[in-house]
């Protein structure tokens, strides 16, 4: 039932599109941004999974992932 906040930052020219995914499904996107937070207000076991932040512009794409376990 606790809250968790996941943060993601990226720099680039042009500014990247930042996106949060969970198990391949888009949860949140922010065009031309340097930071994007994903807030999960009340964690439940169904919130467990692999979360990925993707930064993308015309020069390329980078991502970071984490696996969230909920006990």
Domain that holds residue 34: 4-68
Q: What is the pLDDT of residues 20-71, one digit of tens each?
A: 999 889 999 999 889 999 999 999 999 999 999 999 999 999 999 999 999 8
**Phi then psi for 45, rounded to 5 degrees?**
-55, -30
pLDDT at 1: 78
Number of domains in the chain: 1
Output the pTM of the full model: 0.89
What CATH number should be reported for the domain holding residue 51? 2.60.40.10
Whether the Cβ atoms of residue 4 and residue 30 lie closer than 8 Å to each other: no
Q: Under a CB-based contact definition with an 8 Å cutoff, are residues 8 and 35 in contact?
A: yes
């Amino acid at each position: 039932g606790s809250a968790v906040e996941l943060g993601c930052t990226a720099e680039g020219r042009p500014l990247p599109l930042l996106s949060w995914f969970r198990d391949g499904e888009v949860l949140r996107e922010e065009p031309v941004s340097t930071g994007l937070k994903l807030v999960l207000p009340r964690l439940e076991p169904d919130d467990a999974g692999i979360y990925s932040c993707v930064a993308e512009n015309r020069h390329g794409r980078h991502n970071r992932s984490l696996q969230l376990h909920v006990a």
